[in-house]
């Protein structure tokens, strides 16, 4: 009788351990969709956006005197001078405007070559 009780106790403990392991696996499986969603967001949204930002920074840092540009507001002009964060743009005869580099939408010629590569 003592052996039977001991055997029942051991079987009960084994079943509880298996149940605990299954609970651990089920909680992991419940987080799996969230992990997959985060992975998809990173691969299809965050990573390409970071790549575009790096290309844009490289484009803006490569602005030099004589480049023809189009601003975000649609103004066409020629770069007359370059500083750290600003550029001096000639938009007409005797009309020069100082703009932030971030307001440059495209550099004519350079941007076209980048689009052909992609």
Residue written as token pair 């938009």: 91
Rg of the chain over all Cα atoms, to the nearest angstrom = 32
pLDDT in tens, 70-106: 999 999 999 999 999 999 999 999 999 999 999 999 9
pLDDT in tens, 47-65: 999 999 999 999 899 999 9
Q: 70 has which bridge partners? A: 76, 106
110 and 72 in one domain? yes
77 and 36 in one domain? no
55 and 5 in one domain? yes
Range of the domain at 78: 65-117
Final residue before a domain boundary, out of 61, 91, 106 = 61
57 and 40 in one domain? yes
Distance from chain centroid for Cα 64:
28
Task: Work out how many domains the chain is built from and give that number.
Answer: 2
36 and 71 in one domain? no
CB 89 within 8 A of CB 77: yes
Neighbours of 103 (CB within 10 A): 15
pTM of the model: 0.60
């Amino acid at each position: 009788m003592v052996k039977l009780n001991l055997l029942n106790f051991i079987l009960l403990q084994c079943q509880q351990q298996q149940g605990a392991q299954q609970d651990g696996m089920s909680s992991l499986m419940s987080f799996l969709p969230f992990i997959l969603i985060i992975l998809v967001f990173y691969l299809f949204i965050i990573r390409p956006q970071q790549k575009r930002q790096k290309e844009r920074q490289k484009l803006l840092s490569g602005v030099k005197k004589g480049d023809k540009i189009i601003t975000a507001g649609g103004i066409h002009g020629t770069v007359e001078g370059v500083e750290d964060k600003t550029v001096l743009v000639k938009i007409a005869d005797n009309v020069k405007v100082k703009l932030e580099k971030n307001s440059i939408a495209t550099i004519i010629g350079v941007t076209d070559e980048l689009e052909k590569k992609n």
